[in-house]
Each structure stands twice: as C-alpha cells, then as structure tokens.
A and B are shown apart, each in its own frame.
Chain A
Amino acid sequence: MSAPYFTLPEFKYVKPSSLEEALEILEEHGEEAKIMNGGIGVVAFLKERLMEAEYIVDIKGIPELKKIEYIPGKGLYVGATTTVNELIEFLDKSPEVREKYRALYEASTHLADAILRNRATIVGDILEGLPYMDAPGPALIFEAEMHAVSKSGERWLPVDGIVMGPMMTQLQPNEIVTEILFKEPPEGARSGYVKFASRTEYGIVNVAALVAHPNDPGKRVVKIAFTGATPLPYRAREAEEVFKKPEPFGKLVEEAVRVIQDSVEVLEDPYASADFRKYLMGILTTQLLVKLARGEW
C-alpha cells in the first residue's frame, strides 16, 4: 500500500449533472475544487502529490460539454469532455474537415497512446500545461480559443498564453472550459504535425505548421508552433513574419529557421539537450514547411 503511485490523497468526489450545478460547486469551494475529466493529468498529479484538492469535480456528467461540430467559415468546435478518440473518429468520417485540420488530426493520433485516448481530451491536454503535450501546437496555428463559463459570465480566451506552467492557467478557479474552437484555416492552407519522441510517449520536439499560397508573396500565410522544445507552447511569430518578404519560399525557410534557433528559450532535460532540440527544430521545421509547400503533406 505504500508504493508511490498506489494511493491518492483524500478528496471528495462530486459529479454534477448540469453546468449550473458544477458552477455552483466551484463558486462555493474556489481553489479547493479541481476539475477532472479523463483524469490522465489530474489522477497522475494527485498520485505524485503535485496537486491537492478538497473536491474533485468530475465534469463528464454535463451533457452539453460533449460536442463536435464543424461550422464552415467559423471552425471546428470540440467540447471539453469529447475524448481524443471521439475526435479522431469524427475526422475519419469527415475527410474534408480532416484535411482542413490535418495538423490537429496528426497530433491527435500521436497523443499519448490508443488506450489513454479513450479518456484523454483535447482541452485537458492543453490545460495540463506540461511542455510535452501534443494538442497545443495545432491549437496555436489554428488560432484556437477556449470558451470559459462562470456564474458571473462567459468569455473566449485565446489558447496562446492560456497556460503558464504545469497546472497553471489564466482561468479563474470558478470557471469551467466548455469547448475549444479551432478557427477556420485560411483559404488554400495545408497543415501538418511532426512529433519527434524519445523512448517515452513525450515528444522532445513537436512541430505544427500551416502554409497557404507559398509561391504568392502577396497571399502567403505561414504559421509555426512548437511544443516539447520550449517550456511553454511556442508560436514562432517572428519566424512567421519572415514569410511576408517577397522572396522565394525556399530561401525564406532557411531564414525563418535561423530566427527560431536564435530567439527561443529551449528546454534541457534528461530526454534531450538544448542543442539537440534546436537542431531538431531546424530540421523538422524545414522538412515540414517544404513538404507542405509542395503539397506532399
């Protein structure tokens, strides 16, 4: 009974059946209540004694949080309790939507493992806040926003900047995220995702990128985001700016990669050195951007 991960600290489990009920609980208990969905993050953090909670609020009983809907022109809405496998199945049945959100699809099929994906959620993957997650990169390149609701109101928060560290977010203790919106990609865009994993399921460099009209400088759009490489999900905005120059795409890729390697703060941990991560960021970004521009991704 004393093995490190065997036990969880004591807490009271509550499973509200409506959003109103859940918001009431959060309003009453504030920071002492923690929201749980698939539990991949929360149960692990509790076991490692990295999280304490008086109340664990299971939101799986709230019907309206289970949702997948694509609205042309607006984007793809994914409910907070929609599992990653449910998203993959939806996209498999809707190839046109899948191609629009290819980076999200690839990240989803590489997230954790096929069994954990029956419980893991996209929203949970982003809010867990560890550096190595898969969903934040695609969320950044599709300019995703999360819908947060509390008793006093509602708001849409950009995913860029929502996470400040493991289990640390911009959300208030009385707020529940109900869904995430992946915005409609620019016309003519292709996107992709590359995960370079070590022996664990954690990617040591994950690149998500989107390219539209690579050979037409006037209409060209490039978006690039990383996880795994940096302490927080990183949207490479300076590198994206490079592609506004009226020069050939291939030449600008080289310059953009240099901008990334010169400007980012890169993680150093037992899985990979900072130098190796920078090297991978260069190679993987170059390959992904060139393939997207050629239509090979």
Chain B
Amino acid sequence: MAGRMITLRLNGQERRVEVEDNETLLYVLRYKLKEMSVKSACWKGECGLCTVLMDGKPVKSCMVLAVEADGSDIVTATGLVKDGELSPIQKAFVEHGALQCGFCTPAFVVAAHHFLQKNPNPTREQVKEFLSGLICRCTGYAQIIDAIMDAAKYYRGEQKASP
C-alpha cells in the first residue's frame, strides 16, 4: 500500500512524514518521529499514556489515525519545556514526588497542563474525575493530585514560574 505524506506541527516545529493509512498517531509519533515522551502501553485507549494535545485538546494517540493528524498541531510533554526549563506543571510533579518509575508522567503532565488552562481553580474531586482516563501503577495518585492542585496557582497567575 502506498504511503502518503502528512504535515503536522510537533511541539512548534513543522514536520513532514510519510504514513500509511492504517498507522496510528502513536506509532508515527514514537517510532517515525522519535518523540519518545509519548509512551506506548495498552494500545486500546484505556491507559492514556500516549495522550498528546491535538489542536489544543488531549487525545489518546493510539486511538487516532496518523492521517487524521494531517495539518494538526501536536504538543507533548517535551513541548512544555521552554528554553531548557521545565514548565510549572512539570516542576510541581518534581517537587511533590509525583512519580516513581516515570513512565506515565509525560501523559499526566500534558493532560494536566490542558486541564489547568481550562480550569485553573479546580477542586480535588474535579482533578480526580479528569484523571480517570490515565493510569499510574506506582504512586497511588495522591502526589499527582497534590502536584496539580499546587501548580494551579501558576495558571491562576498568582505566582510566576520560579527562575
């Protein structure tokens, strides 16, 4: 089957890549564009660890066809880093020890970034509800929720990112 060229913006950079119609966005991001922060685990839309922002909204990239992403804007956890510095949500994960093995962290970070942009004043319940599509097998979620609640102050504009 003949492939086709698609163009997408990956973390602000325009990328052209040849894809097959039956390839998922996860496969193309991770194995063709070598964006290794996008993790591959369940491949069936359950664990959420392949979550990326597609045109500003979180999607599970294992359930998206790569051809659908033609012309779209994709942001991963790598894209949250500016000039080599972690973003406030990433720093909050570090400060709160919201990770053990780190495998799920990029997905949580990028999803939480979207969530806090939309809802900078969440309750713990709202955070939990939002996280229901993401699975972490190490931490038990408490520190993850702490980190997100804490990082919210940056999204409310109460605190500038620390130098």
**Footprint of B on A, CB under 8 Å?**
3-13, 15, 39-40, 43-44, 46-47, 56, 58, 60, 85, 112-116, 118-119, 201
A56 & B63 in contact (Cβ 8 Å cutoff): no
Task: Decide: A116 and B60 in contact? CB cutoff 8 A.
Answer: yes
Complex contacts, A112 vs chain B, CB 8 Å: 133
**Residues on A with beta carbons closer than 8 Å to the beta carbon of B124:** none
Alpha-carbon distance A3/B22, docked complex (angstroms) = 15
The complex places the Cα of A51 from the Cα of B68 at a distance, in Å, of 19
Given contacts A13-B65, A40-B45, A44-B44, are A115 and B24 in contact (CB under 8 A)?
Answer: no
Q: Are the CB atoms of B1 and A10 closer together than 8 Å? A: yes
Question: B interface vs A, CB < 8 Å?
Answer: 1, 20-24, 27, 42-46, 48, 51, 57-60, 62-65, 67-68, 111, 129-130, 132-134
Cβ-defined contact, B68 with A114, below 8 A: no
- Contact A13 B42, CB 8 Å, known A40-B63, A114-B130: no
CB distance from A107 to the nearest CB of B (A): 15
Q: In the complex, which of the residues A11, A40, A115, A201 has the most CB atoms of chain B within 10 Å of its own CB atom?
A: A115
In the complex, the answer to whether A44 meets B63 with C-beta atoms within 8 Å is yes
| A7–B66 CA distance with the chains assembled, in angstroms | 12
**A7 / chain B contacts, CB cutoff of 8 Å:** 22
By beta carbon, the residue of chain B nearest A115 is B133
19 A–B contacts from the bound complex (CB under 8 Å):
A6-B43, A8-B22, A8-B23, A10-B22, A12-B1, A13-B22, A39-B63, A39-B68, A43-B63, A44-B45, A47-B44, A56-B65, A114-B132, A115-B48, A115-B51, A115-B59, A115-B111, A119-B63, A201-B133
CA gap between A7 and B63 in the complex, in Å: 11
Task: Give chain B residues whose Cβ lies under 8 Å from the Cβ of A15.
Answer: 67-68
Please give me the residue from chain B that is nearest to A48 by CB atom. B44
Contact between chains at A58 and B133 (CB < 8 Å): no
CB distance from B124 to the nearest CB of A (A): 15
15 more A-B residue pairs beyond the given contacts A10-B22, A11-B21, with a C-beta to C-beta distance below 8 A: A4-B43, A7-B22, A10-B1, A10-B21, A11-B22, A12-B21, A13-B21, A15-B68, A43-B24, A44-B44, A60-B68, A113-B133, A116-B63, A201-B132, A201-B133
Q: Do the beta carbons of A8 and B59 come within 8 Å of each other?
A: no
Residue of A nearest to B64 (CB): A39
Q: Which of B22, B67, B133 has the most CB of A within 10 A?
A: B22
Q: How far is the CA of A113 from the CA of B58 in the complex (A)?
A: 11
Cα–Cα, bound, A44→B23 (Å): 13
List 5 A-B pairs, minimum CB-CB distance, nearest first. A113-B133, A5-B43, A13-B21, A8-B22, A115-B133
Which residues from chain B contact A115 at a C-beta distance below 8 Å? 48, 51, 58-60, 111, 133-134
Q: Which residue of B lies closest to A5 (CB)?
A: B43
Distance from B77 Cβ to chain A, minimum over Cβ atoms (Å): 15
- Alpha-carbon separation in the docked complex, A150 to B62 (Å): 31
| Chain A nearest Cβ from B117, distance in angstroms | 14
